Structure 1
Amino acid sequence: MQNSDQAVETEVNDSGAAEAVNETSSEEASLEDQLVHAQEKTVELEAKLAEVENRYYRLQADFDNSRRRARLDLESSEKYRAQKLISDLLPSIDNFERALQMETDNEQMKSVLQGMEMVYRGLLEALKNEGAEQIEAVGKEFDPQVHQAVMQVEVEGVESNIVVEEFQKGYILKDRVIRPAMVKVNL
């Protein structure tokens, strides 16, 4: 009987070992599945992280560009703050120039003209203090950036494409043309 008990015991041990092997195999398979799933999840999370980082860097670059543009706009606004005022004053300055070209023998009128000339010089000085200057034209080569040709003539002894007469003065504010000079150009 001992043999049969031992045989039954051996059978039980063998079936327990088989079950243990099966359990170990299924645990290993389950662990492998979990590992594969964890690796897939890691790859997915790394891709999402890369996308978020990329978006962050783009947003940071956009923000830096926005800040730079705002700073440049502010600097430009400050640099050219007087442009509108200067543009509005130019017709009055032109009228002063025409009035100062009058010739008179009357002493009273001469003193009025002297006062007007003082006001005119004061206006020009104020423009200069703001960075505005008259554009030189007569005797200079025609430059379409700063001159507006309204006539062309042929003058002996003057090179081609040279300004021979100025009809209206042009003005430049720092590096920006406020009004081009109206000129007559030699052919």
Structure 2
Amino acid sequence: MSETQNDVQPEETKVEAGAESTEEVEQEAGEEVKAEDNVEELKSAEEDYKAKFFYVAAEMENMRKRFEREKSQLLKFGNEKVLSSLIEVVDNLERTMQAIENDEDEKVKNIYVGVDMVKKQFVDVLIDNGLEQIEALGKKFDPNFHEALAQQPAEGKEDEEVIVEYQKGYKLNGRVLRASKVVVVKN
């Protein structure tokens, strides 16, 4: 009997060892599945973070470009209000010059020369700041740059040609600051 018991015991031990190894294999397989799930979750999270990073990076670049564009516009047109006011000063200097232009008094002629010099210097400063005069006399009427105050017939002139300029027009960096007030030919 002892031989039989000894023979049986190893088989039972083998069966028990086999059962444990099956459980261990199943447990290890479950852990591997969990590990694969974790890897997939990590990859998915990584992709989400990458997408968010690229989105934020693109937004930052767009914001930088928008800021640069706005800054450029401010530098280009920020002095528009001041220059508009200063145009009125130039107009007054021109009116003063027109009023004393034909005076024969020597002192008045000297004043005319002085006012003309100041006006030219003033206009040069405005030009240096981006202001430019709109050419009107002899040009074809353009409603983008001219404001027609009247129409009148004129011989030897083309239709819609500007023949009189009552008030000069100005542009600031290509944008009309004040349109020229003109009289246009209508035959």
Q: Which TM-score band applies after superposition, normalised by the shorter structure?
A: 0.7 to 0.9
Compare 176-185 and 76-85 and name the one that shifted more.
76-85
Which digits, 9 at most, give the CA deviation of each residue in 1:104-154, with x for residues without a partner? 344433332232222111111222222321011222233343333444455
2:131 matched to which residue of 1? 132
* CA RMSD, 1 decimal: 2.5
Amino acid at match of 1:90: I
- CA offset at residue 170 of structure 1? 1.3
Structure 1 residues 32 and 115, CA gap change in structure 2 (3 angstroms): same
Aligned equivalent of 2:42: 45
Q: Distance in 2 between matches of 1:134 and 1:120?
A: 14
For residue 136 of structure 1, what is the amino acid of its counterpart? E
Name 1:183's counterpart in structure 2. Answer: 182
- Do the aligned partners of residues 160 and 48 (structure 1) sit closer, same or farther apart at CA in structure 2, a change above 3 Å counting? farther
With normalisation by structure 1, the TM-score equals 0.81
Partners of 1:41 and 1:122 lie apart in 2 by 77
Instruction: State the alpha-carbon separation in 2 of the partners of residues 125 and 12 from structure 1.
Output: 115
Q: Which consecutive unaligned segments of at least 5 residues does structure 2 have? A: none
Does residue 1:12 correspond to 2:6, yes or no?
no
Residue 174 of structure 1: aligned partner: 173
May I ask how many residue pairs the two structures share in their alignment? Answer: 184
Letter in 1 for 2:171: I
Q: Structure 1, unaligned stretches of length 5 or more?
A: none
Which letter maps to 2:177?
Answer: I
Aligned equivalents of 1:95 and 1:178: distance in 2? 18
| Aligned residue identity for 2:41 | E
Matched residue, 1:111 = 110
Please state how far the C-alpha of 1:49 moved relative to its aligned partner.
Answer: 0.9
Equivalent-residue separation in structure 1 for 2:6 and 2:42 (angstroms): 52
What is the CA–CA distance in structure 2 between the aligned matches of 1:153 and 1:91, rounded to whole Å? 27
Q: Residue 144 of structure 2 aligns to a residue in which SS?
A: coil
**Residues 35 and 134 (structure 1), Cα distance of their counterparts in 2 relative to 1, 3 Å cut:** same
Alpha-carbon distance in 1 for matches of 2:69, 2:106: 54
Following the alignment from structure 1 to structure 2, what is the Cα–Cα distance between the partners of residues 35 and 111? 102
Question: Match of 2:26?
Answer: 29
Q: 1:58 aligns with which of 28, 50, 55?
A: 55
Using the aligned pairs only, state the percent identity: 30
Q: Which secondary structure does the structure 2 equivalent of 1:143 belong to?
A: coil
Moved more, 162-171 or 49-58: 162-171
